[in-house]
């Protein structure tokens, strides 16, 4: 999000926008577009699993995905790059305990 913050501020998330517009039209291509989100979701789920959260990995992945989409949507609506930076910092804070716990498990 930080690398693409100028584009996110201006346009929002292209995947989110595409899915939203296809849903409005009840378009047959919505399922194909949703596969892009599924790729992100599956990758994030695997990351949480590798951090030792096998039972709730998908729930955590969906939470992270929804937060990132909300950030992109609001940053675009308010044209606020500072908001992106602030929220990404909060995402890092939210994620930190997951990585700290994984390190403790590897080095008891």
pLDDT band per the 50, 70, 90 thresholds, residue 28? very high
What helix, strand, coil percent values describe the chain, rounded to 5? 80, 0, 20
User: What is the pLDDT at residue 47?
Assistant: 95
User: What is the pLDDT at residue 65?
Assistant: 96
> What average pLDDT does the chain have?
89
pLDDT band per the 50, 70, 90 thresholds, residue 108? very low
**Distances from the Cα of 83 to the Cαs of 26, 51, 74, 89, 93, in angstroms?**
32, 28, 8, 10, 15
Mean pLDDT of 9-34: 91
User: What is the pLDDT at residue 58?
Assistant: 98
User: What is the pLDDT at residue 102?
Assistant: 59
Mean pLDDT of 32-49: 95
Mean pLDDT of 21-49: 95
pTM of the full structure: 0.83
């Amino acid at each position: 999000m930080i690398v693409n913050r100028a584009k996110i501020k201006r346009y929002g998330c292209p995947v989110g926008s595409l899915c939203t517009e296809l849903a409005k039209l009840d378009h047959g291509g919505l399922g194909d577009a949703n596969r892009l989100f599924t790729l992100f979701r599956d990758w994030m789920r695997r990351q949480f699993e590798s951090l030792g959260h096998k039972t709730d990995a998908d729930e955590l992945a969906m939470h992270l995905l929804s937060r990132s989409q909300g950030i992109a949507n609001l940053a675009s609506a308010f044209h606020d790059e500072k908001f992106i930076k602030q929220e990404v910092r909060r995402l890092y804070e939210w994620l930190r305990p997951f990585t700290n716990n994984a390190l403790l498990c590897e080095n008891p």
